[in-house]
């Protein structure tokens, strides 16, 4: 199999227990004309081996790239720039604990082909981690964070070409040209999503939101942080004394 113009980038760190579900969710896409790049951010478990084993039966090309500089922003930026150097024109990202719905890639391609510079998708809670109450709480947190983001002074101003709408880094797509023009993903640990979105907003107004580009998001932060600290995280108040990368 040869490389394609659309690449899916998945940053991963010590995700051996979860990444198989993500890989098979990608294999179940209705549009499988893409190249998968998993960026291993210095894992100490068998994450990379799991991906390489999957590559033997994958319906698309699969590559594993190692990024030793710690931080999800570093892994994403390295992965995106590697894909661009290999000929990618469309870049789509999810995370190694997420489950893209079957039409995810097709929805991203449709929006980018139609002229969007960046596409933000919809996130919902995974069904295998919490019951209805936990999923409802997650949905409420996302809605609250989106409203907070629109009102926050740092996200408003004359320098932005598009209004602020919540962007989830684990469900986004962007053209290679726009990625390079905006300066790329901040090379830092999480959180990076808001900073990256504002870089894009300062570069173009061609940002769309797709209801058909859906990713089931891990809610393990809720289990690790509890209700109050999780709410603070989604409201951009940081993780306090807790690690920003719960496992």
Give tens-digit pLDDT for 7-47.
999 999 999 999 999 999 999 999 999 999 999 999 999 99
Number of domains, the chain: 1
Whether residue 225 is contained in a domain is answered as yes
Identify the band that residue 155 occupies on the pLDDT scale cut at 50, 70 and 90.
confident
Whether residue 243 is contained in a domain is answered as no
Whether residue 16 is contained in a domain is answered as yes
pTM: 0.87
Whether residue 139 is contained in a domain is answered as yes
232 compared with 133, residue with greater pLDDT: 133
Q: Is residue 234 scored above 60 in pLDDT?
A: no
Whether residue 1 is contained in a domain is answered as no
Q: Which domain holds residue 19?
A: 6-234
CB 174 within 8 A of CB 119: yes
pLDDT at 219: 76
Tell me the average pLDDT across 117-128. Answer: 92
Share of the chain above pLDDT 70, in %: 85
Tell me the average pLDDT across 141-170. Answer: 79
């Amino acid at each position: 199999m040869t490389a394609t113009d659309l690449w899916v980038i998945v940053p991963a760190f010590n995700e051996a227990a979860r990444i198989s579900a993500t890989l098979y969710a990608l294999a179940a896409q209705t549009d499988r004309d893409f190249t998968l790049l998993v960026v291993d951010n210095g894992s100490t478990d068998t994450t990379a081996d799991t991906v390489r084993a999957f590559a033997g039966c994958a319906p698309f090309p699969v590559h594993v790239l190692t990024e030793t500089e710690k931080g999800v922003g570093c892994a994403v930026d390295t992965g995106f720039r590697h894909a661009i150097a290999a000929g990618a024109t469309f870049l789509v990202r999810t995370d190694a604990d997420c489950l893209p719905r079957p039409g995810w890639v097709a929805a991203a391609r449709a929006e980018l082909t139609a002229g969007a510079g960046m596409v933000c998708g919809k996130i919902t809670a995974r069904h295998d981690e919490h019951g209805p109450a936990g999923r409802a709480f997650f949905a409420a947190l996302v809605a609250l964070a989106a409203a907070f983001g629109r009102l926050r002074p740092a996200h408003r101003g004359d320098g932005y070409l598009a209004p602020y709408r919540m962007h989830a880094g684990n469900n986004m797509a962007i053209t290679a040209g726009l990625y390079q023009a905006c300066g790329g993903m901040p090379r830092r640990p999480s959180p990076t999503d808001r900073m990256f979105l504002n870089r894009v907003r300062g570069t173009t107004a061609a940002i769309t939101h797709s209801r058909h580009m859906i990713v089931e998001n891990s809610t393990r932060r809720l289990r690790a942080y509890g209700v109050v600290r999780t709410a603070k995280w989604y409201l951009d108040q940081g993780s306090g004394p807790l690690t920003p990368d719960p496992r």
